[in-house]
Amino acid sequence: MYSQQFSWFSPILERDMSFNHYGQAGLPILVFPSSGGSLNEYADFGMIEACRSFIENGQVQFFTLSSMDQESWLCDWKSPHDRALAHTAYEHYVIDEVVPFIKHHTNWQGGMMATGCSMGAYHALNFFLQHPDVFTKVIALSGVYDARFFVGDYAGDPIIYQNSPSDYIWNQNDPWFIDRYRKADIVVCTGLGPWEHDGLPSFYNLKEAFTDKQIPAWFDIWGEDVAHDWPWWQKQMPYFLQHLLG
């Protein structure tokens, strides 16, 4: 399978940043790693292999990103506000540096997909909801979508609120966003097994909000044997790709 790594000094983050590319054609999929994970994590835990047929058929190509979670949401010694500011810098890096590079490199002019597992699912859905002109498909597996899980009660801090999907979606009434949400392919999946329960409150909250706003989305609930773990995500990702891509 064709793969390569790209790296450059990010003027936004003021450091070298890298990401991996798997495949040569098809829909670009940006992969956000799980909590503090690396750009190699998705391949190391078998996710690229699980999606091999889609890659080799030229349907998709994966771009696995580096994380900054240890300096943003997972950085316990920073204030919640400063953690959100660090995340915002990462957002600008992805949108203003990575996405334009991918479009130029692949000559892809349409919408992309965002995906991830666990904390990567949080990022994938949050980036999609913030940038539905960039991402027109999202597959979020086993995420927690409430920023309180990372920082506790954030007392209405607007930057944190804007990155707490299960909160801000209720007040998102801008037709520019809502129309794009309604045209997108949205998959949010959770299991009911070990280690999945942290994400269930925000999963159900999001499901209710999407229904209330008449945003079509596939909120899929797998069984009590389905754990918050890579072997299940290896089954889920190709399953949903098959449904979205045909």
pLDDT tens, position by position, for the chain (246 residues)? 889 999 999 999 999 999 999 999 999 999 999 998 999 999 999 999 999 999 999 999 999 999 999 999 999 999 999 999 999 999 999 999 999 999 999 999 999 999 999 999 999 999 999 999 999 999 999 999 999 999 999 989 999 999 999 999 999 999 999 999 999 999 999 999 999 999 999 999 999 999 999 999 999 999 999 999 999 999 999 999 999 998
Domain spanning 3-245, CATH architecture: 3-Layer(aba) Sandwich (3.40)
8 Å CB contact between 25 and 58: yes
The domain ranges of the chain are: 3-245
- Using DSSP bridges, classify how beta strands 135-141 and 3-10 pair: parallel, antiparallel or unpaired: unpaired
Please state the separation of Cα 5 from the chain's center in Å.
20
Instruction: Find all residues with CB under 8 Å of 21, minimum gap 6, and list them.
Output: 3, 4, 5, 6, 61, 62, 63, 105
Q: In what order do the strands lie in the sheet with 112-117?
A: 3-10, 15-22, 60-65, 27-32, 112-117, 135-141, 185-190, 218-221
CA distance linking residue 91 with residue 60, whole number of Å: 23
Tell me which residue of 226, 240, 245, 243 sits closest to 50, measured CA to CA: 240
- Pairing mode of beta strands 218-221, 112-117: unpaired
- Report how far residue 243's alpha carbon sits from residue 246's, in angstroms, rounded to the nearest whole number: 5
Provide φ and ψ at 223, rounded to 5°.
-80, 180
Q: Which residue has the tokens 């925000």?
A: 202
- List Cα–Cα distances, 11 to 2, 16, 17, 103, 159, in angstroms: 29, 9, 10, 19, 22
Cut 0.85: pTM above it: yes
Contact 127, 133 (CB under 8 A): no
